[in-house]
Amino acid sequence: AAPGCQFPLFPTRTPTRGRCALRAGAHRELGRTERRGARCERRASLSSNGKRPDAREEKKSGIGAAPPDDSHPGGAPTSRRPASARASEMVRTNSMTSSHGILGTVRLLASDLDGTLLDPHHKPGPGTLEAIRAFEAVGGVFAVCTGRDKGSAAGVLEGFDLDKMPGVYMNGTIIQGAGGVVLHSAIVPQALCKEVTEWGRANRHLAAILFVDGDTHYVMDKSEEWAMYMHKVLLDPEPLELEGGWSAAEPKIPGHVNLMRVICPPENMATVKPQIQALVHGQANCAQSLPTTIDIMAPNTNKATGLHILLKSLGLSEARAAAIGDSENDLEMLQSVRVACAMGNAAQRTKAVAHFILPKNSENPPGVVHLLHLFTKSLARNTREEASAPAPPPPKGEPVRVACFGGGAWGSPVARMVGQSVLKDSEFHSEVRLWLKDETVDGKRLSVIINETHENPKYMPGFRFPMSVVAVDDAREAAKDADVLIFVERQEILRQILKDIAGHVKPTAIAVIMSKDLVEIGHNSLRFGSQVVAESLGIKAAALMGGTLAGDIAAGNFAEATLGCADEEKARLIAALFNKPNFHVSTIGAVEAVELFAVLKTMVSLAGGICDGAGFGANTKSAMVRLGAVELNKFAARYFPEQAKFEALHEACGWTDLIVSSFGNSRNRLWAEAFAKDPSREWEDVAREVYGDTKLPTGINIVNDVAVFVRSEQAEMEFPFISKMHRILTRQDPPASLIQMAMPRVRRANAMKVTVLGSGNWGTAIARIVGQNVQRKVDFQKTVTMWVHEEQIDGRKLTEIINTEHENVKYLPGFPLPHNVVAEPDAVEAVKSANILVFVLPHQFLGGLLKQIAPHVAPGTIAVSLIKGHMVVSDDGKTLRTGSQVIAEALNIPECAVLNGANVANDVATGNFAEATLGCSQAEESVLLTRLFDCPTFSVRSTTDVFGVELFGGLKNVVALAAGFCDGLGLAANTKAAVLRRGLMEMSVLIAAIYPTSRPETVEESCGIADLLTTCYSGRNRMCAEAFARDPSKTWEEIEAELLNGQKLQGPSCCMDVQGLIDHRGLRDQLPLLTAIHGAVTKRITPQDVFTTIGFLAAPQLDN
């Protein structure tokens, strides 16, 4: 992208949304090549009202210009908008901003060598040296930041004067400043060198050992194949043999070993790596730099540390630095600079933390050259503008100090994120104090270990803190002069912290509550953590919560959270600390609205675990999660009406958190699963089995506290979910009784004959329910006719088998049918005299069936469609006819009702609890159909929103494809949950655009969120999409034939119809996920590109 191309790089604000919506720059692409620069400049941007401005207006008004402060854009939240409009705006494309402002602030570019600056032949790509010189000519500084030593780097960088260039060598072991001045030289402890050597002696069959002393390399035996690997393959200096080699009882190890390397075949790495990590633990730092190589370095050594020392010597901050890398060894460096770039050939975890993806190092021009051109032009432009600009205003004041309280499994990743942010932004003080309770590990205080090794071996092993994080044991010391206090501790510890620091906190400070278990019960009152902390410390409080499993956050997987903060400036400040390409923060102006769902959702995650432990199926679990969420929404509306107006259930602190904690490996879900398997055990014993300690999950206290509050309000009958969870956890009821709170609805109607049209997996399962129901209810004739498309099974007709053995052996084997269900191969015969027609067949066969039966359907017949995903869209995308409309028109009846919900056929057939939503605008028919389908294990709720029910049932098949892509690509639970929430919002936007009269609350019914969850965790569309993501070379037809045993796949065809609707209405920008799924289905982009497009996986591609 040429300078002036309008693409945002960092968080920008959507002015029209009902909150300060901060979004990381990974949502947009940096640009293409300079050849497309002029076209990029002409690209229209979206104005605040969502319309594309005229080109002349754009030029005049300066739309696309960078905000005054690129790193900290902000703005006041506007008034709350209606739910439908707000849902639309959640996925609206931002106005674009110019890139040169951000790129022009970069003064130092640090580049890795192998896989980045060097091509696959270990040589700089064409134009690399010239591009570096051009960058330096405009005032830039280029530094090599590599795992190689200086001699090795000089050998592959022909034409580079490394003696004068700053650089970080051997992963930060040796740091060279400007003019070749050595700033730092660290050595590996001799005792550790000897230990590793002895390990190498015992494991010569697995790996070789190499020592690096300055630019000299040593090995024990040059005849060992892997001892010479670095020299032969990576062109390192030829190593010398140590005197005596392996034959010596005590080999003469060099006295100043800067780096040790353990080199092995890639297939041995899984065996070697954990042994080396255990050997060096607590003594040194180690990292895998290549598929074949583990580097052992001095304590406190890595590329990020080395880069920090180098920047300090140059008088620059991390906010003026950019870095390029490709391997996991570059993660810390990329996370410590303002602009992080990953090569197109980079490891996935490296791409996940990058702001931009460059072309591969093998392309021409290479990615580094392309980026250097951008930096050079932007820096030159900014330099000219700065020279002509008036003198800048004086600094606003002292830098903002940050303190974190909590160094456990969640607190440590939070401190790590915040520590990385303060290094990049001069608005913050470069030190983050991390308070953690006094613990010892291997006889050493944990705070001392963290400060020496920058690692928390107990709670965050394998992930390093940036050097900005300083661990302290004294809570008052941590709080001293802090402007932002972040609390990430369990409530019993947090209460003690508040007592310790009360009276020692700046009155202008703000607290950020990330703990989800702090609830106080008073006389007819319920207070959350923000209120408790604010009153205890006398300061303002905010809350930041969402779908955030600690392990996923530490690993850099994508996640999202919601910030509740009433102070606009404080909200901007907090968002700046947390917003990253792989961690998105949106802001609403109500603190308790965020806490309500993030805290109370722990009860729902316990219910999800009970479903798993009790062996309930996916339908039951999805139903319980939905029922719990609806009850929490009801609880919020009754007791926190002002907060409920913000509809936080639809934010990351709502659905995303609910999904990931109920379906991912959250502590609450895991504990409840184990408890449900054997509820006779003590709670602590269950915790010890699951976690290895006796700490109980936070949800237990939440359930107890909220149940006490509900009881004090005499509202137990209004909140059966909360009451039932309390009875289960206190052992008054067994875990299996969870489903008993969903009481069936029983209504009366006139007797009628029922015909089920369809006998596949789902058709047979629903015929079982209908067959059982009509025997118990006098309103219906006892015989149910099931139309069966005739097939031969082992030489016998399928209808004959069903009518004699009462089992559909092909589509639902193992589940007996009631004897009153009669199979009929003639469709015309099946519909004669029928009063109720239940359509439950693949939509591909609906048109042909309707032509056959239409002349024979009796007047006044009631029809109900259980067909999911059937939409008939005109070629131009203007008109849409749903399956129910097609049926009503063909049969000449006023309306066809719709039944959709979280219904996986096998789970329904098994008798696991499930639920569905009936869409029917006719009151009498609604009562009748509810009686037909409703039973203790299949709960039916009704609504008049027919098309909302039907369209959710179809659109979720498209989102399920994205869920399958997540699973096929091995993405984390946080990421998948965020994708589902985004999908849910986009479904709501599209339905509102097509049918403005649809009811927004339909999304909370079984046909909405519950059906989406079931389909995205266990449905056939998810399964086939997972297979497609693993092997995109296959066609959808091939996958359908391999996996579905004759069943039909609805997702891809539905996706085609949906895209026509999107394109005709100009909704591509508002519906990026649905549009990207279509691109993957049609193979225009890869499944991985779906998540790149919406910013959930990696930064956008900066290609040729």
Catalytic residues: 956
In degrees and rounded to multiples of 5, residue 4 shows phi and psi of 100, -15
CA distance 463 to 455: 6
Give the DSSP H or E segment for 263. Answer: strand 259-263
CA distance 284 to 299: 4
117, 133, 70, 137: which is closest to 98 by C-alpha? 70
190, 157, 163: which is closest to 178 by C-alpha? 163
Instruction: Fill in the DSSP letter of residue 82.
Output: P
Which residue carries 């005499």 as its tokens?
Answer: 714
Could you tell me how far CA 26 lies from the centroid of its own chain? 14
What number of other Cβ atoms are within 10 A of residue 151's Cβ?
16
Secondary structure class of 399 (helix, strand, coil) = coil
235, 215, 421, 220: which is closest to 318 by C-alpha? 421
562, 654, 549, 623: which is closest to 980 by C-alpha? 654
Number of H helices, E strands in the chain: 43, 42
CA distance 406 to 168: 33
> What is the maximum span of the chain, computed from C-alpha positions, in angstroms?
101
Question: 591-614 and 529-537 are packed helices; what angle lies between their axes, rounded to 10 degrees?
Answer: 140
Instruction: Read off the tokens for 706.
Output: 């909220």
**Beta-strand pair 339-343/896-902:** unpaired
Cβ atoms 1048, 1072 nearer than 8 A: no
Instruction: Fill in the DSSP letter of residue 1104.
Output: -
Cβ atoms 1094, 1087 nearer than 8 A: no
What number of other Cβ atoms are within 10 A of residue 792's Cβ?
8
Q: Where are the beta strands (DSSP E) in 274-338?
A: 285-290, 293-297, 321-325
CA distance 816 to 1072: 45
Buried/exposed 989-1025: b ≥16 CB within 10 Å, e otherwise:
bbbbbbbeebbbebbbbbbbbbbbbbbbbbbbbbbbb
CA distance 512 to 529: 10
Report angle CA 711, 716, 721 to the nearest 5 degrees: 120
Question: 698-712 and 720-729 are packed helices; what angle lies between their axes, rounded to 10 degrees?
Answer: 130
83, 78, 98: which is closest to 30 by C-alpha? 98
The 3-class SS string of 27-75 reads HCCCCCCHHHHHHHHHCCCCCCCCCCCCHHHHHHHCCCCCCCCCCCCCC
551, 562, 657, 649: which is closest to 602 by C-alpha? 657
Q: How far is CA 1063 from CA 756, 993, 1059, 1067, 1070, in A?
A: 36, 12, 6, 6, 11
> What is the residue type of 265?
P
628, 596, 657: which is closest to 720 by C-alpha? 628
CA distance 929 to 542: 48
CA distance 17 to 86: 7
**Beta-strand pair 460-464/455-456:** antiparallel
